[in-house]
Amino acid sequence: MKLVFATHNQNKVKEVQALLPPTISLLSLSDIGCNQEIPETGETLEENAILKADFVTHKFGYPCFADDTGLLVNALDGAPGVYSARYAGEQRNSEDNMNKLLSELASKKDRTARFETVIALNLNNQQHIFKGIVEGEITTEKKGKKGFGYDPIFKPDAYVETFAELPLEVKNKISHRGRAIHQLLTYLKNYGNDLGN
């Protein structure tokens, strides 16, 4: 079975493919000739994930999964949330996004926050939703060189390091994206095993 991961990032595709049964072949957006930006006009992470998965399934006819991730800060009423990637503008610059967030939290005592990833899977004329959440807090300064996005200013609960300081294998086990992907993979492995019977 061919399954599309709604991303142009071939490294992401390879990472997930390595964890799937051989009965499932994973394709990227580039692999199916989808070179356009899929509109993310939803008001929630779940809506955006569904929009992307539905776009691929309806336009290209493939079963597909798509993800959307956001950082939700309690003192900012859940912002940046669905706008996390473009919080400081359409340039989608991580440094600008972090600087804006640190500035807006400068006078706040409550720095608790959480990362959420939502995955929408369209398979066999059914839609399945998987969610991963990790609780933590926003630090007062950037720390660490690993990771991407807001990782240098997010410290997960029970850790003294930010996501950008933690080894990748540790981050992947506890992160929002890691938890959502694990749920997806568990489902797909069972599905793939059924295909192989």
Instruction: Just list the catalytic residues.
Output: 68
Phi, psi of 24 (to 5 degrees): -115, 120
Q: Concatenate the DSSP letters of all residues of the chain into one string.
A: -EEEES-S-HHHHHHHHTTS-TT-EEE-TGGGT--SPPP---SSHHHHHHHHHHHHHHHH---EEEEEEEEEEGGGTT-EETTGGGTT-TT--HHHHHHHHHHHTTT-S--EEEEEEEEEEEETTEEEEEEEEEEEEE-SS---SSS-TTGGGEEETT-SS-TTTS-HHHHHHHSHHHHHHHHHHHHHHHHHHHHH-
Q: Could you tell me if 166 and 134 are in contact, meaning their C-beta atoms sit under 8 angstroms apart?
A: no
Of residues 89, 67, 86, 197, the one with CA closest to residue 150: 86
